[in-house]
Structures are given as structure tokens and as C-alpha cells.
Structure 1
Amino acid sequence: MSRIHTPALDTATGASAEVFGQIKKAIGSVPNIYAAIGFSGPAALKSVLAADAVLAAGSLSKADQETIKLLVSSTAGCDYCVAAHSLLGKVAGLSPDALRHIRTGEPTGDNKRDALIRFVKLLASTSGTIAESEVAAVRGAGYTDQQLVEISLAIATTTFTNAFNRINDTAIDFPAVQ
């Protein structure tokens, strides 16, 4: 049960109703996380959706975006986002084995993806400035400076949703992860 009061979607008015309508039009339904954020903070939800639109228009593949979001969510222990990004990762073309490896931060056998996993895991699990050698390694795997910005944005939006779900204990409305 969610900790933040989330009324029925059909009772939404104003900015909340507007953003819920946009989500329904885009994906057919409003996931529980979006409903919970949107009722109490529609501007925050709009910001997350805008950031995701920037990522969608960027140069990282959808599989790379879901790799980042799944790994950050696994590192944070956000069950809701792990379930969501496991499904979205599958939709983006990641195999069940790759998804399992990403969730545990283990190599997938794809050198470029593994460099991304190592880099994101380092960013998600440490503090302070990372070594130049780590930046060089991810660049050496083929990631550009533009993509380093996009990796940072994907981590930031995921950190927000992870924190919110950990506060809210959002009811998971995605398939369970085995």
C-alpha cells in the first residue's frame, strides 16, 4: 500500500489531470508511480517526463538507457523500478540473461554494455570525483561526451524515482522479477 495518498485517477483536476491525460495518450495507462507523483507534485512529474523525452531524443540507445536505469534501481534497492525497467529493458531488446546480469552488475558478454555497467555501477555506488581512467575506459568502449551527459541524466531521473518509490512504497504494477 502506498504511503502517499493517491486518489483515483478520474478525480484528478488541473495540472494533475493534464499530465495524466498526456501519459494515457502516450502509453495507454498511468503507472502507479506517475499517479502518486502526479497528484502531489505534477510539476515534478512533468520534469521527469521532460527529462525522459530528452533521453529518448538523445544518442543513447533505448537498451543503454534501460541498462542504466535497471542497474541504478538495483543498486538502490527499488523493487518498483527494478520491475519496471526489467520489462522496459526486455521491450528494448535486452535478453533475460542480460537483464539478470545487469540487475546484479555482472558482465553480460557485450564489451560495450559491460563498460557501461561498470561505469554506472561506479557512479551509483561511490562518491567523489571518479578517476580519469574510468572516464577514459567508458570513452574507449565507444561512449561520447554527449552520451556521458545522457548517462548522467538517466542516473539523475532514476535516482529521483528510486527515492520516491522507497519513500512511498509504491505498489508494483509491472510483472514481478524472478
Structure 2
Amino acid sequence: MSRIAIPAVATATGATADVYAEVRKIAGGTVPNLFAALGHLVPNALSAVLNAEGVLANGSLSKQDLETIKLLVSEQTGCDYCVAAHVMLGKMTGLPSHVLTQIRHGASTGDSKRDALVSFVLKLQKTSGTLSDADVAAIRQAGYSDAQLAEISLTIALTIFTNTFNRINDTDIDMPPVK
């Protein structure tokens, strides 16, 4: 059970009800537990997350690239809620189960561009300091633009935020769990 008790979503009023209505539009009429808790506590934070997700959705990274990053960061952070979410969402973008497993383990997926993305994100997650010129050259050589490097950064930052909140809350997983 989640650590932070929230009232039933249907009882929300004001800014919380408004942001829940936004979530329902993009989540097939439901409000996932992460968004329910965040919207209850800080509706403006949930609105900021939704706005950032909109920026990414309209950006130049593919949906598969976005889910690759989100799944890998969630796995590295140890957020079981987000791993489950991004395995499910990754499948919805057409990523096969075996590829999602490879991404989670930072292993080769057989797609050189995706593997370069995984390697780059892992480098960002596991090291500190400025990346080497070679690291940046490698991701560019794989076909990622400088604008996409900014989108990768935003995706990582947004994912770390939701991972961190879920780890604090121990948010109940409301989708198929992943072993």
C-alpha cells in the first residue's frame, strides 16, 4: 500500500480535479496511481510533468527512444512502478518483450542506434562530471542531433523525478508488474 494516503480521485476539486481531467484525456479515461498521488499533493507539479511530457511527445525523439530512456533510467533508479509502466508503454510503441529486457539490462538489442542510446544514457546515469568529447561524438555519430541531446536530458530528468517520488511513496503498481 502506498505510503501517502490520498482521497478517491472522484472526490477531487479545484486544481486537482482540473489536472486529473487532463490526465484522463491522455490516459484513456483513468488516473494512474502516480498521477493521483502527485496531483493530490501538488497539482502544479503534475501539470508541469504533463507539460514536459507534451514537449517530449512533440519533439524529435521517437516514442521508442523515449520509452528506451525512461525504462533504462527507471531500472537504474530501482523504481518498480516506473519499470512496469515503461515496459507496458514500450510494448505499446512496438518494442518487443525481449528488446525491453535487453534495455533493462543495458545489453545489446541488435539495433545499433538504440544500443548507442542505451550506452549514452547509462554513461550519464553511472558517471559524474562532463562527458568526454568521444562520448558526445558517439551519440551524434549514431544519428542523434543536438536538439535530441536536449530532449534526452529532459527525458532523464523527468524520469528521475517520477522515480524518486514513487520510491518515497512506494506507489501501488496499477498495471501489470514486471519481474
TM-score range, shorter chain: over 0.9
Gaps of 5+ in 2: none
Shift of 1:164: 0.2
Please provide the CA RMSD for this pair.
0.7
Match of 1:24 in 2: 24
Q: Which moved more, 1:20-29 or 1:146-155?
A: 20-29
1:1-178 paired onto structure 2 within 5 Å: 1-27=1-27, 28-178=29-179
CA deviation vs aligned residue, 1:98-121 (integer Å, no higher than 9, x gap): 100001111101000000000001
Measure the CA separation in 2 of the matches of 1:9 and 1:145.
40
Gaps of 5+ in 1: none
Q: Secondary structure at the match of 2:175?
A: coil
Q: Secondary structure at the match of 1:177?
A: coil
Measure the CA separation in 2 of the matches of 1:133 and 1:2.
43
Shift of 1:18: 0.2
Please list every run of at least 4 consecutive aligned residues from structure 1 whose deviation after the TM superposition is greater than 6 angstroms. Answer: none
Measure the CA separation in 1 of the matches of 2:126 and 2:36.
29
Shift of 1:25: 2.4
Measure the CA separation in 2 of the matches of 1:163 and 1:113.
25
Measure the CA separation in 1 of the matches of 2:126 and 2:54.
26
Calculate percent identity across the aligned residue pairs.
61
